Structures are given as C-alpha cells and as structure tokens.
Structure 1
Amino acid sequence: MPPLAGRRAFLATGLSMIAASPAKAATQPEPPSTLSAPPRSWDSQAPTGYLPDPDIISLDPSFRDLLFPNTPIQRVLTGGGWLEGPAWLGEARILLLSDTIRSQQYRLIPPAGAGEGSLSVFRQESYHSNGNTLDTQGRIISCEHDMRRVIRWEHDGSCSVIADSFNGKPLNSPNDVIVNPSDNSIWFTDPAYGDTLIEGHPDSPGNGANPTGKLRWTLGTELPVQFAGHARQAVHIFRVDGQNGTIEAVLSPEDVPTPNGLCFSPDQKIFYATGTLPPPTHDTRGPQHVIYAFDMINGHPQNRRIFCPFMLENHNMIPDGIRTDVFGNLWCGASGPFGLAGVLCYSPTGKLIGRIRLPFGCSNLTFGGPKRNELYMCCGSQMFRLLLETQGAGLS
C-alpha cells in the first residue's frame, strides 16, 4: 500500500492520539497507550496486577499454549525514526534492525530484564535499508531503498550485489527478504514504498512519487544509475537462484497485488505473502488486505489461495511483516485503529487464534534470543518484546 494511505497513516493517527508536546510532557504523565484496564504506561515493566498481561488476547485455547503467562509485553527500544527489518544474529546475540528514515542500521543488545536494551549504530549509512535476513552461511542480506537493490555482506567484509535490476530496468525499492534453506534461494518483494524523499529518493519527473516533477533526486551531482531518472516497473516477488544467482519474477502483480511481507512454513512446503484482494467492479470499498498461501512445487510457488482475510472486529487491517513459529503458526504485524493494532497470530489452517495489542501498528517482527522464543516487534519509533513458549522457524 502507498505509505501515506497505509501503515504510516495509521501510525500517524495513533501518534496524534497519544503524543504530548514537549512543553506538556514535563508537567503531564504519559497518557494510556492501550485500551487495557487499568490503563498501562510503558515507562517501566507492567505492574504485578497486569499478569497475565491483558494486552495478550487469546481468541482460541490453542493460543494459550504458545504463551508464558508470567511475563508482560516489554518496551525495549524508543527513539527510532521508522524501525524495520529485525533479524537475530545468533552468534553475536544481537538484534540487527534498519531505520528507514535515518538511513542507518542498528545493533540492539536486548535487556536481561525490564527496561530498554543497549543500542548502537551498526552501519552509519545503510542507503535507507529495510528488510534484513541471514543466509545459511550466516551472511547478512539487506534490502536498500535508496540504491534500489538487495545486497549481501560477505565474511571478508566485502559487499555483493544480489539484485538491482530486472529486464534491464532498476528495481523499485526492495522491501522484505527471506532465504529458503532448502535450496539457498533468496526471495524478496519489490513494492514502491521507498520511492520517496524520506525513505529513499523519488521517481523521475511525472512518475510515481514525483507526479509534478518538482522533486530532484540528484541535487546537481553525478550519481549511480540507481539514483538517476526512474519510472516504476511492475511490482513482483522475486527469487534469486542459490546456485547461479539468476533472478526471476516468480509472482506477478496479478498473483499478489501490492506484496509486502513474505515467509515460508517451517518445512518450506508453503509460501506466504501479504497482499490485497482487488475489489469487484464498481465496489467503492477499496481493496481488502489478505495473506496469500502457495504450495511449493519444484522450488516455485503454485496453487494460490487466500490463507486468511486480514479482518479484526469488522476492520480491514493492514498486514506487513510475517514469520512462522516451529508449530506452523503465522505471526503478522498489523496496522489499524487504536486498540486493534499490534500482532495477529493465525493457526496453520488460517484461523485467527490470538493477538498482541500494542500502542502502534507493527510493521515488522522476528523471533530472537538465545532460544529463539523472544518475539521482537517493530512499531514505528519503538520496539517491543514478548517471551513465548514457542520458537521461530526459519533463519531470521
């Protein structure tokens, strides 16, 4: 979805409801940030009376089997720009994440208990990176909005370009990326969310994010072709062969309209992608956001179906990053109205079994920690953590 009409618009609405001006902040306490009763504050760990945490909501008994009832949702990071792409680096025991607005990557050492973690800059200039993951050799793979490419950092510190064009045209702004461990292939989505001044650079005059042609992306300097005039190409889901590096568009805009997040089932037999369902002709309600599922046959997705409609209490929520746990449950970041935004959890059959209510829409998430049972959730400028009785499947 376009940033102004999608998850960032929902975040802006939430911020306007709960944010206080600097002058008022000195004299007024932080207002409630969820609908729980009594109202909670994120200044510190939830008080004892909150256990089990009322903002962890079971909609099916099976969800309670995934929870550790004696721990609350914790806020472990504040002060970011727009946080995306969390990936757990197991050997270093740190969380790598992108700040798409500030064009930096961070390393977060999670706190042992309550409070925020230790944050430092991992890469001073990330070219507005978004999604991150690890391959089967432990190398970091990142999507860069600004350079319109997917890169891999080798063990010797050098950088390899995995993909920067398709059919002779620059990519749009690679967003989310995963690796299929069964064949080492790299999969990524290429929507146009980063074709802006804030998260990358605008399109050429008269195109996409630059319809009036008033925005300049070169500022009078000679820059690589990725910064040159650019007209958006069709939005695809791409696969890069793990052996020869060949890039192919495995899913078209008709297969998955406006793709964003993607992941595999624990056994790599099912491929999931978030997208939209175009409305029927003359339907003014607009597209409905859904999660698609595909069977993996000979290394490619086939047999498209709707895994679940992304609805909650009659609201069409906006899905973003998705990850599966070892039991095949699908965890998905969700933006939407205040009180509904957070994380939705679906069973392998597509049934909504539970949700985590957060003060902001969740753009991206991952499992981390030494046991891979800590769910990290990026919510705009903040990050939250929840300890679970399940573990993440996949590489990050």
Structure 2
Amino acid sequence: MLTKDFVVYDDRFRSLAMGNVHVEQLATGFRWAEGPAYFAAGKYLIWSDIPNDRLMRYDETDGSVSVFATPCNNHNGHTVDLEGRLVSCEHLGRCVSRIEHDGTRKVLADRFEGKKLNAPNDVVVKSDGSIWFTDPTYGIDGDYEGDKAESEIGACNVYRIDPASGAVTAVVTDMVRPNGLAFSPDESILYVADTGLTHKADCSPDIRAYPVAADGKSVGAGRTFATSDIGLFDGFRVDIHGNIWSSCGDGVNCYAPDGTLIGKIKIPEVVANVEFGARKRNRLYICGTTSLYSVYLNTRAAKRPAAK
C-alpha cells in the first residue's frame, strides 16, 4: 500500500514507488534550498542555501547537517564531474567554477563572446567531459541571490564548455529563462526547463527536449516534452529507465519517457531541485523551499554512458 506521500496517475508509477515508504524531512531552516549534488565516496549530499550564501552538507552515515562552505558566491546548481570534483554555478561570481582535488577554486567559464555571463543556474557533465549549463538572470535580477546588474549578453541561453579547449558555445538560444537540465540515459536528448513565466506572462512552464547531434556538441530543434501542472519546473533528474523526476509547485512530478505524467511525490513546500543518492542511488533527495527531504524509490539514478 502506497502512503499518502505518493499520487498515482498512471499504473507505471506503481513499480517505481514502494509501499510503507514515507517522505522524510532531514533538515530545515533555509531560505531557498537548491542545487543538490551527491558524493558517493563520502556518503554525503551538498546543497545550496542561496540567499544565505552558504553550502550545506548532509552526512548519510549519521544524519548530521553542517555548513560545507560560507561565503560561497551565492552558489545555485551543482554537479559532480567525471573525476569526482564539484562543479558549481555561482550567482555572485557570474560563472561556472570547479573545486579541484586540492581544494582550490578554478573558474571554468565567466564570459561568452567577451561579455559577462548572467548568473549560471544549473549544470550537468556529459560522458565526454563537456560541461553544459543554463544562464538565466535570477542572480542579477536583484540583490537577494547575488548582485543586481544588467545583462551584458542580453539573452538567456544554454552553453557548453569544451573539455579540451575550454571554449564556451551557445547550444540552446530559444528559451526565455532556461533553468534545470539533464541528459537522457543514452545522452541522445537534452532536457531543459524554461521558467520564463517569472518574466513573461505568456511563457509556458515547459520542459523541452532537444535531440543531441551526432557529434555530441550541439542540439537540434526542441519540442515540448511536458508542461507543469502546478507552478514551474526547476531542477530535475533522470533515472535508469529514462523517467524524469522534476521539481514543481507542490512536490516532485514523475514523467515517463513518452512525456506522460505518471505520478507525484507530495511535498508541503515548493520544490526547487532533486538528486539521487545513497549507496544504491535509489534515495531521492528533495530541496524544498526551506527544507531538505528524502524518499526511497524503486529505481536508481541514470548512469553516464561510457565515453566514446
């Protein structure tokens, strides 16, 4: 019997949710929890508390919560690269940076065509080592999550950082405010959420799907994959079956690979982002507005395909 934390819209969801499993609140007291990233070797999760300019850490071995870093340039989204290093989107720094193995910070990208980036938001690393990130304006729209400033680029795009040269190229240029992003398990599709409704009244709250070109460095024309039923999509993750687990206004929506909304995990706050963790990568960590939650699922995080 599924608990009240799960809502089933399609029987396919029943195989992903388990009976007698509840959503757990692990920590609270944040202003805007975002950007979770899991470090398997250390058995811990880090996430952002953006307005408070700090990174938090949850230790799976004992359930303790601590401050991982502060100040931190108002970090937002994070990911872990192929070498286990933390890759970060900085609102205040207006850049994508990486923490090296010796603990030093390296800026990977802060400009496009000579102009400052807006405020990198979310980031993912592809199997070839390239880094793909979104660059809306939320960190420069005001002083709450960064420093208020005008956009030098005058647009909000999705970019790719080349792993060999470090060159930054625009790969998606048709969104109002690109936000969360992820690849399908075989990396043939790039999914990107558009939260442009915050700035443009007629912007549909969609996740769009872009076919990845044969060279793996660009994408084709996008199509609407799903439209949010409540609130906006933000960050999301993909499981081994190709299902998308996405933040929304009242929890986490689960979409089958065909775009059907098959189920929901109810959370009593607006959800910003999610991440798979635990030894089997079957624990979904959920960043609500002021709290960190988790729930165990009958699925696992998608693995990166082997590099070609």
Q: Which residue of the other structure, out of 324, 334, 339, is the alignment partner of 2:248?
A: 334
The match for 2:274 among 358, 365, 371 is 365
Match of 1:187 among 132, 146, 162: 132
| From 285, 292, 300, the counterpart of 1:391 | 300
Distance 2:203 2:156 in 1: 16
The corresponding residue for 1:302 is 220
- Gap runs ≥5 in structure 1: 1-50, 208-229, 279-283, 336-340
Change (3 A) 1:91 1:137: same
Q: 1:277 to 1:92 in 2, by over 3 A?
A: closer
TM-score by length of 1: 0.73
What is the alpha-carbon distance in structure 2 between the residues aligned to residue 277 and residue 302 of structure 1? Answer: 21
Task: Map Cα deviations across residues 174-221 of structure 1 (whole Å, 9 max, x no partner).
Answer: 00010011x110010010111121110111xxx4xxxxxxxxxxxxxx
How far did 1:380 drift? 0.9
3-state SS in 2 of match to 1:245: coil
2:289 is equivalent to residue 380 of structure 1:
yes
Give SS of 1:122's match: strand
Equivalent position of 1:286 in the other structure: 202
Instruction: Find the partner of 1:137 among 76, 83, 89.
Output: 83
Q: CA deviation at 1:262?
A: 0.2
More strand by share: 2
Give the superposed CA RMSD.
Answer: 1.8
Q: Is the 8 A contact 1:53 1:73 kept in 2?
A: no
Whether contact under 8 Å (1:171, 1:233) holds in the other structure is no
Residue 249 (structure 1) aligned with residue 167 (structure 2): no
The residue type equivalent to 1:331 in the other structure is W
How many pairs are equivalent?
A: 299
Distance 1:75 1:146 in 2: 29
Other-structure match for 2:187? 268
Q: Which runs of 4+ in 1 moved over 4 A?
A: none
SS of 1:301's equivalent?
coil
C-alpha deviation, 1:106, in angstroms = 1.2
Instruction: Give the conservation status (yes or no) of the 8 Å contact 2:182–2:192.
Output: yes
> Could you report, residue by residue, the CA deviation over 1:45-97 in whole angstroms, capped at 9, with x for unpaired residues?
xxxxxx63112011111101011212111111111121110000000000011
Q: Does 2:6 correspond to 1:59?
A: no
Q: Deviations over 1:286-306 (max 9, x none)?
A: 322111001111212113111
Matched, 1:347 2:292: no
Matching residue's letter, 1:241? D
Q: Is the 8 A contact 2:137 2:177 kept in 1?
A: no
Offset from partner CA, 1:236-277 (integer Å, 9 cap, x none) = 10000112111101111xx22211000001111111001168
Unaligned runs of 5+ in 2: none
Per-residue deviation, 1:394: 4.3
The equivalent residue for 2:96 is: 150
Partner of 2:158: 237
Please report the TM-score for the alignment, with normalisation by the length of structure 2.
Answer: 0.93
Distance (whole Å) between structure 1 residues aligned to residue 5 and residue 105 of structure 2:
42
Structure 1 residue 384: Cα displacement: 1.1
Q: Measure the CA separation in 2 of the matches of 1:167 and 1:59.
A: 46
Question: What's the CA shift for 1:232?
Answer: 5.8
